[in-house]
Structure 1
């Protein structure tokens, strides 16, 4: 087990750590005493029909979701809805590799395992059988699609933001380079490092790759990194991007990346994506980000056409994929507007 000063209530709380029991995994193996870190906003009404589920993205925790997406007057308004933000397995707060006696033996967890764990949480802990909305960005969007395909009778609305239902080969290779940045650091030692900071060189390379791919060329051409308060590119890389990733646990990041690479709802239908997305009954707004190099709009639009009644609602932002961080107020306003419309429509 690796003790990390990063994954704490002080840094990422408040959240409640809920034991959902034993979780059998799709690729074999089991997580005994699977714990999910859950942050709740608002109150569940008597009918239990005002619940919104928000799964987290790669490297993210419930903290950023609460700060950037949830608040009075927003689409995700805790005065109207009971908003349940669930940290994905492996993100450092929920059960993760660094919690184990031997992190290198942590089992393979898929997107579907996360969603089944969340389903168990909602039923057993809260008694929720209907969701007004499932919304998530990036890997959260992968979980959103999985929810809509796996539990179509339970989900009334879905909004996948900056993510796809089936990961592309191109995106698999993107993620592979991120993994190699960590594993090729000699200090990684096949995952047997004693502390995350020992893998500082690998984590910095990881951060640099995110700098290149997470933002867009236009982001840098138009000086958005300077507008965010950084003197130049080196300062942006060192202070923002490396500062963000450096405290994280490499084995946790790799566990999430493995899931990300293999996200595919067509596993439910023998590889037939159209058949899988055709199962969706929820009212659906597909919301890619215009300059996203991980999940480009063209990929999202192709899938949108396969979802019955889905609407394509792209978000315009040169901040690219990492506009999800809330760096572009105009992009956040667009997301809020679409989510408010989606929630206002009957489903």
Structure 2
């Protein structure tokens, strides 16, 4: 186990580390003393029916969810709801390759699937918080993958679901692109098969990784409109170097690879022998499927095909030329659309 200056309360807090015990994994093996980093907002009511769960996306932590999506008079209002943000396994705050001691740490960290995250979250909610009903589960990107997994795996517990900019089954195209993100890191000679001494040894790989995210994370319209100027950068070069490389550069490579592996293999149809329609047909939650209009990772057409298989669901695309990384809250108008949809969804009787 190594210390890492990027991960911790100073940048990402406040959160609580909760030990849920040994987590058996779908791919075999187990994580002993699996710890989930959990940030909560608001209070659980007496009926225990005002809980909202937010899982995190690739590279993201509970902090960005707090900053962009939660607030007084917002749809996700901590004065009305008990909001639980759970950092996914491998994101650097919860149990992850870089903070796991002994033989399971670093490059030897076991393979974790989206389903393992969701089972861990279920244990946390039911055993630690005493919650057996969720007013809403929502998340963006890998958070959407976890949202779908929740709605399919625990249909009676999830009353409403809002997958944002993500799919229930990862596409071949997205799998291949994620592979380039992985190769950007692992091809760096400093990676040493995951046995690097510190993340800065893989600086070149992390920079390549960030540049690939720049190409696909933002849309072509984002570049054409010079949106980087609106975000405070004089040139695209400064945007890439300061914002994109500055964001990914401090992260732990093994942590990113852990998340990328499960992102590639997100697939709720594993519950039904590969039958996606049967899996999505299990969903009982009132569901709003919300892709981002210019997303090149999870384009609206892919999300629409899945939405049409979900009972009692609606297709609510968010208009935003920023693309997938509009999830960061770079376009206030997009967040306003999202807020309006969530407010309407939460007001829907179930």
Q: Does 1:289 align with 2:289?
A: no
Cα distance in 1, alignment partners of residues 316 and 114 from structure 2: 24
Paired residue for 2:201? Answer: 198
Paired residue for 2:342? Answer: 339
Deviations 1:153-194 (A, max 9, x none): 100000000000000000000100000000000000000001
Cα distance in 2, alignment partners of residues 172 and 193 from structure 1: 26
Deviations 1:13-54 (A, max 9, x none): 000000000000001010000000000000000110000000
1:248 pairs, out of 230, 248, 251, with: 251
Q: Does 1:15 align with 2:15?
A: yes
Cα distance in 2, alignment partners of residues 340 and 249 from structure 1: 36
Paired residue for 1:148? Answer: 151
Paired residue for 2:47? Answer: 47
Paired residue for 2:70? Answer: 70
Q: Does 1:304 align with 2:311?
A: no
5 Å-filtered alignment, 1:1-347, equals 1-100=1-100, 101=102, 102-347=105-350
Deviations 1:100-157 (A, max 9, x none): 2341110000000000000000011100000000000000000000000000010000
Cα distance in 2, alignment partners of residues 132 and 194 from structure 1: 44
Instruction: Give the CA deviation at 1:2.
Output: 2.3
Unaligned runs of 5+ in 2: none
Instruction: Give the CA deviation at 1:317.
Output: 0.3
- Are the equivalent residues in 2 in contact too, given 1:103–1:251 (CA < 8 A)? yes
Cα distance in 2, alignment partners of residues 49 and 24 from structure 1: 29
What is the TM-score of this pair, normalised by structure 2? Answer: 0.99
Cα distance in 2, alignment partners of residues 156 and 188 from structure 1: 44
- Are the equivalent residues in 2 in contact too, given 1:2–1:194 (CA < 8 A)? no
Cα distance in 2, alignment partners of residues 230 and 179 from structure 1: 28
- Are the equivalent residues in 2 in contact too, given 1:278–1:306 (CA < 8 A)? yes
Unaligned runs of 5+ in 1: none
Cα distance in 2, alignment partners of residues 269 and 122 from structure 1: 25
Instruction: Give the CA deviation at 1:56.
Output: 0.1
Deviations 1:240-268 (A, max 9, x none): 00000000000000000000000000000
Cα distance in 2, alignment partners of residues 36 and 320 from structure 1: 30
Cα distance in 2, alignment partners of residues 54 and 156 from structure 1: 14
Cα distance in 1, alignment partners of residues 220 and 314 from structure 2: 28
Q: For residue 54 of structure 1, give the secondary structure of its aligned residue in structure 2.
A: strand
Deviates more, 1:258-267 or 1:95-104: 95-104
Report the number of matched residues: 347
Instruction: Give the CA deviation at 1:331.
Output: 0.3
Cα distance in 1, alignment partners of residues 45 and 156 from structure 2: 20
Please give the root-mean-square deviation of Cα atoms over the aligned residues, in Å. Answer: 0.5
What is the TM-score of this pair, normalised by structure 1? Answer: 1.00
